[in-house]
Amino acid sequence: MKRLTAILGALAALAIPAAAKAQAAVPGALDRAFGELGGAGGEPLSMSLQLLLVMGLLTILPALVLMMTSFTRIIVVLAILRQALGLQQSPPNQVLIGLSLFLSLFVMAPTLERVNDAAIAPYAAGQMNAEQAIEVAGDQFHAFMIRQTRERDLQMFADIANAPKFASTAEVPFSILLPAFVTSELKTAFQIGFMLFLPFLVIDLVVSSVLMSLGMMMMSPMLVSLPFKLLLFVLVDGWALLMGSLASSFA
């Protein structure tokens, strides 16, 4: 909670002075940012087109940020767990997404603290410009992603892009690291999901065999096995074990 408070406080400190300067600085900043996209005569884009481009980038930003964090692995594992338990809409999607977001924030807290110390705080203090702050923050996310990416996946996308051999992992560009990271996260999530499925699959097989031996072929095995799977999951404190295992898998 202390880490979360510090991060949110830093973001707020960055947002307040930025908002205060926005009214006067937005037109000029947008002109500088999109000046190279002007027409053939060198005129900058109109204000409406600039705002349209900014709003378009803002719609892509959340998806991009989520793909650069631990969110992908967590939400996939939780979705597989719900399917393994045989539950259709419980927990609902809103609960799974909210749980994934907060657990992702917990996992990413050390990285976010480093981003705050190295990029957000100096930018708010006027010690570096926005471009430098974004570059420093990107380096911190790059270090997190490279630790979670399999070398095989990284090499595959590097070969597809015909990229030269990198002297160090810090030289891997985001254009190669991002798809390799997402691929590795999906592979890890499915491996964890497979291990989660096994005990519940055994229960389904046992219940199905018992019903067949009793001649109750019209009874749905899923309906009978559901209480037993829920009981097993509760008895072993499944939620605590799953959350702890997911968080420690990023260590």
Give tens-digit pLDDT for 61-116: 777 777 888 888 999 999 999 988 888 788 888 999 989 989 988 988 888 888 88
User: For residue 164, what is the DSSP state?
Assistant: P
State how far the alpha carbon of 15 is from the alpha carbons of 3, 31, 34, 46, 150, in Å. Answer: 18, 21, 22, 26, 36
- The owner of tokens 């219940």 is 207
Top-confidence residue, 234 or 10: 234
Give tens-digit pLDDT for 166-213: 888 888 888 888 889 999 999 999 999 999 888 888 888 888 888 888
Distance CA 118, CA 116 (A): 6
Distance CA 146, CA 234 (A): 36
State how far the alpha carbon of 104 is from the alpha carbons of 107, 175, 206, 229, 240, in Å. Answer: 5, 23, 36, 27, 15
144, 146, 209: which is closest to 177 by C-alpha? 146
Give tens-digit pLDDT for 39-50: 444 555 567 776
- Report, as an integer, the average pLDDT of 215-227: 77
Count CA atoms closer than 13 A to 125's CA, side-chain side: 9
What pLDDT, on the 0 to 100 scale, is given for residue 225? 82
Residue 91 identity: P
Listed by start position, the domains of the chain span: 65-196+237-249
